[in-house]
């Protein structure tokens, strides 16, 4: 499991440029609602991790609007080859 955004704005979960295996997690932290965006191979792994950490303060988890293949996410874009100068 990888935390992409910790204690963030929940509207970040609407970003379609996130991987499709990301989840937004809502929990109570220091008497306020907090949100994390995490990436994992399964929702069960995210649930287990957050439930173990926050117990009754864990509220819910939901898949984000991400559409990108996780293998292709966050990779540098290939630069086009340089054209030789004409003399």
pLDDT digits (tens, 9 = 90+) for 49-70: 999 999 999 999 999 999 999 9
From start to end of the chain, where are the E strands? 2-5, 22-29, 32-39, 58-63
Q: Which residues of 16-44 are buried (b: 16+ CB within 10 A; e: fewer)?
A: eebbebbbbbbbeeeeeebbbbbbbeeee
Q: What is the mean pLDDT of residues 8-32?
A: 94
Is residue 84 in some structural domain? no
Q: How confident is the model at residue 78 (pLDDT cuts 50, 70, 90)?
A: low
Is residue 74 in some structural domain? no
Burial class (CB in 10 A: 0-12, 13-18, 19+), 83: exposed
Cβ–Cβ under 8 Å, residues 9 and 35: yes
Q: Is the pLDDT of residue 84 over 90?
A: no
Q: Is the pLDDT of residue 42 over 70?
A: yes
In which domain, by residue range, is 32 found? Answer: 2-63
Is residue 50 in some structural domain? yes
Is residue 75 in some structural domain? no
Is residue 87 in some structural domain? no
Is residue 21 in some structural domain? yes
Is residue 69 in some structural domain? no
**pLDDT above 70: percentage of residues in the chain:** 92
Tally of structural domains, the chain: 1
């Amino acid at each position: 499991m990888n935390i992409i955004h910790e204690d963030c704005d929940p509207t970040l979960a609407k970003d379609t440029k996130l991987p499709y295996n990301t989840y937004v997690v809502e929990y109570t932290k220091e008497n306020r609602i907090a949100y994390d965006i995490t990436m994992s191979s399964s929702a069960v792994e995210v649930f287990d991790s957050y439930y173990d950490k926050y117990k009754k303060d864990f509220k819910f988890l939901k898949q984000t609007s991400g559409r990108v293949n996780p293998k292709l996410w966050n990779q540098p874009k290939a630069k086009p080859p340089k054209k030789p100068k004409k003399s």
